Chains A and B, each alone.
Chain A
Amino acid sequence: MSSLHVNNLSHSFDGHPIVKGVSVFVAPGEVVCLLGPSGCGKTTLLRVAAGLEVIQIGQVRIGETIVDDGATNLHVPPDQRGVGLMFQDYALFPHLTVRENIGFGIGADTPERQLWIDKAIEEMGLSGYANSYPHTLSGGQQQRVALLRALAPEPNVLFLDEPFSGLDVTRRSTVRTQTLDLLRDTGVATLLVTHDPEEAMFMADRILVMNHGHVVQDGTPVETYFEPANAFVADLFGPVNKLSGVVRNRSVETPLGTFAAPKLKEGQVAEVLIRQEGIRLAIHGERPQSRPGDAPCRPAPPLARAPEPDSETYRVISARPLGRASLVTFAIPGDDGHDIKIEARIPGVFLPPADSLVSIGVNANQSYVFATD
């Protein structure tokens, strides 16, 4: 088992820089996830590391072997670096059966791997399909065949490019669990690329968030979710409410309350991001649950329109059920006299009628203050 080192990799297409000086390390048995929107350079990085693109700047090592070096124009072709790659579209060979597909990368001279294939086909629930052609399989089955095909030659490093995006939502969670179990069993160093934050959180030991060709944050899923490095990362993990204010006395005053900003300069214009699920609501007259560490809410000033909310309540615009949660939109008065719409995601069913009044609480752990330039 080997580790993967990508050092200071930069790559451009037709003069447009796509990846700008990114370093990635994946230890044996570790699953590292590159997370970012499309066009952030994550797939390019994966393709360079797998050898499908010729490196331009930087270095790639698998274990102790240098397989790519931009400085010396060293490039080991993909067929000689012992990597496995599973593509987003699976790229199964349509003219070969399931078994032939999985066995494509190994020679007849390795009987123990042939046995491994037989066992793996059975364990992954494909035993009835060994002699079927890929187009007769369901999406989930194709995904498993592609994964086994990539793992069959015992690769040093495994690359997964959006491995679950082709599956419908209901199948995804089972396939994810199955995949993760298989990866744990083999103990291969895995680099996974995705744009789905939930997938990244579920699969990864570490998440590298990429944007515009840079790694903007490197941390565990919990760190990345609760301590986002900037507004982009916070935004990536789900919709947020954005308010702005100026830092005074190490905190930012907003219509929704006061938020601590210990690291920002006095007078700095700042942006406050509050996750939808970071807002708690209660029907007028009751108080929302309050927990230690909540941001201090100041009393709300009166709104312009009837029914007149009193000093601590806000007017509901709409409330929609989402199944496991409810999405409540309410108005708060902005600085310029216009109302600002705030969206809150409340667990369970919470559907106050439009124009009714609610009082709120804000979870400080789910709100973040960043300086704006």
Chain B
Amino acid sequence: MAVPLLAVVTFALNPSDDIWSHLFDTVLVKYVRTTLTLMIGVGFGVFLIGTGTAWLVTMCRFPGRWIFNWALLLPLAVPAYVLAFVVTDQLEYAGTVQVVLRDVFGWQNRQDYWFPEIRSLGSAIVVMTLVLYPYVYLLARAAFLEQSVCVLEVSRTLGKNPWQSFHSVALPLARPAIVIGVILALMETVNDFGTVDYFAVNTFTFGIFDVWLNMNSRSGAAQLASILLLFVLVLVGAERWARRGQRFHHTSSKYSALPSYQLNGMRATGAIAACLIPVLLGFVLPAGVLASYALEFYEETLTANYFSYVINTLTLASVSAVLAVGIGVFLAYGVRLNGSPLLRLMTRFASIGYAVPGAILAIGIVIPLGAFDNFLDALSRQAFGISTGLLMSGTTIAIIYGYLARFLALSYGTVEASLAKITPNMDGAARTLGHGPGRSLVRLHLPLMRGSLMTAGLLVFVDCMKELPLTLILRPFNYETLATFVYQYASDELLEEAALGALTIVGAGVIPVILLSISIVRSRPGRAPDGPETPQ
């Protein structure tokens, strides 16, 4: 799984045509500046919305709180590029908003009024913030819930008001979790291609595509990719560092019912608004617009083509999900049986893919697979006089490989966490009762992990459905998935016809959100501790 990364770096360090200086002179500075601005903007935005809403729903009581508890997660289901398409569709000159404004105020044309430019860096920041803040919300909320109420109560008895307590106790205690959330959101930001492409924002990922497809320079793309990889490694390092800090932050294990500050009148309205706006803009608006388009244009869109895209998507996603879970179980159980440092290091390395933008992985896959295919082709021509063509790189195998490299971390992480809940003594019991490692896995671990394996598969499945940049580069000629189809139609200003596809992606994305909210409710401290899993 590390092959793509190594390939990118090797290829970048051995450029066939020297475009380093050219890149540096022309676009590099711009890419760096744009990417950093985007990251800072999104980072700040997700921190503000994520932490604020998490605090409101965990610590305050106001009407509708229990709905927002899970509704705030919904934007997670919307890929950034889908929101970008919808926002543009609504806000551009011919869009609903400006049309209404012109009608109301009697403006005739663009010169009569000022309206912000939609296709801009600012919009990209807003769009990504709206769909990525749930990462921070999720982790901050969990952190606030985990905080011992005693700690907060001590702070209150020492004369701090609720706001001061939040500021001086709750926030610092939750800091590692919030940092991890922001970093995860930033990893997604760096990965994004659809939004930045549509808004013509010159980030690194945008640049990689630009250099590859428009300048037709593979090595240039690889070089950009390896610089982007540095960004990502910094993020990965920061995440590890933050997780290390997290361990020391459980000061007391006593939980009681969470205290709630009752909000009334203006304050309650404010709290509702603060929670409602992100959900409205991040989920209800795009889903609503897409649904209305989908209903209106279903005759044009509900065609054989649509179904073939759905089948392509489902096939790719389910094959990848099954493989990812299988490999995840294999690796995690392997580590459990034989905890050698080498194996641990390898799994660590294999699971880094999640942080790596799809564009980088795609390049890293195309290069070695292409070389392999050419080698095979030459070999077969020499031996048999038959051309094998591009056996791997031009096929769905490449996409599945890419999905695995990128999402293995997801399944491995889930499997590992689930496996860790089974005490080693269980293994010992099974072993002393005459079961070898293989039979133990079948009779003990797999049945116990069944629920988690489903979750892992589902997470990978949905992420594969949403994944755009990787699919775009690796797909065979004329092979469309829902994501690429939506991207292409929406880029051509044909959002109406892409709506059904986009809605399908969003719909699939809602499933893990539901799963997440269920697991959140279950894991709440203060409830009776979960006993051993009961078989369903």
B-contacting residues of A (Cβ < 8 Å)?
47, 50-52, 77-80, 82-85, 87-89, 91-95, 104-105, 133-135, 149-150, 153, 155, 159
Contacts and interface: CB of A to CB of B under 8 A. Distances in A.
Interface in B25-55: none
B447 A89 contact: no
A153 B533 contact: no
Max chain A CB contacts within 10 Å: which of B425, B431, B432, B443? B432
Interface of B: 423, 425-426, 428-436, 443-444, 447-448, 531-535
Nearest to A85: B432
B535 A51 contact: no
20 contacts: A77-B436, A80-B434, A84-B432, A85-B428, A87-B428, A89-B423, A92-B532, A93-B444, A94-B532, A94-B533, A95-B447, A104-B433, A105-B432, A105-B435, A134-B532, A135-B534, A149-B429, A149-B433, A150-B433, A153-B434
Contacts of A104: 430, 433, 435, 443
Contacts of B428: 47, 50, 52, 78, 85, 87, 91
A79 B448 contact: no
Contacts of A94: 448, 531-535
Contacts of A87: 425, 428-429
Given A77-B431, A79-B433, 10 more contacts: A79-B431, A79-B432, A84-B433, A91-B423, A91-B426, A92-B429, A104-B430, A104-B443, A133-B532, A159-B432
A77 B437 CA distance: 10
Given A133-B534, A133-B535, A93 B434 contact: no
Contacts of A88: 425
Q: Which 4 A-B pairs have the closest CB atoms?
A: A105-B433, A94-B532, A91-B425, A78-B431
Nearest to B532: A94
Nearest to A94: B532
B432 A50 contact: yes
Contact of A93 (B426, B431, B432, B436): B426
B433 A89 contact: no
Contacts of B448: 93-95
B289 to A, nearest CB: 46
B431 A52 contact: yes
A150 B431 contact: no
Contacts of A93: 426, 429-430, 444, 448
A144 to B, nearest CB: 15
Max chain A CB contacts within 10 Å: which of B423, B433, B447, B535? B433
A79 B532 CA distance: 25
A51 B432 contact: yes
Contacts of A79: 430-436
Contacts of B431: 51-52, 77-79
B432 A89 contact: no
Contacts of B435: 79, 104-105
Nearest to A89: B425
Contacts of A159: 432
A344 B531 CA distance: 44
A260 to B, nearest CB: 48
B532 A78 contact: no
A306 B495 CA distance: 99
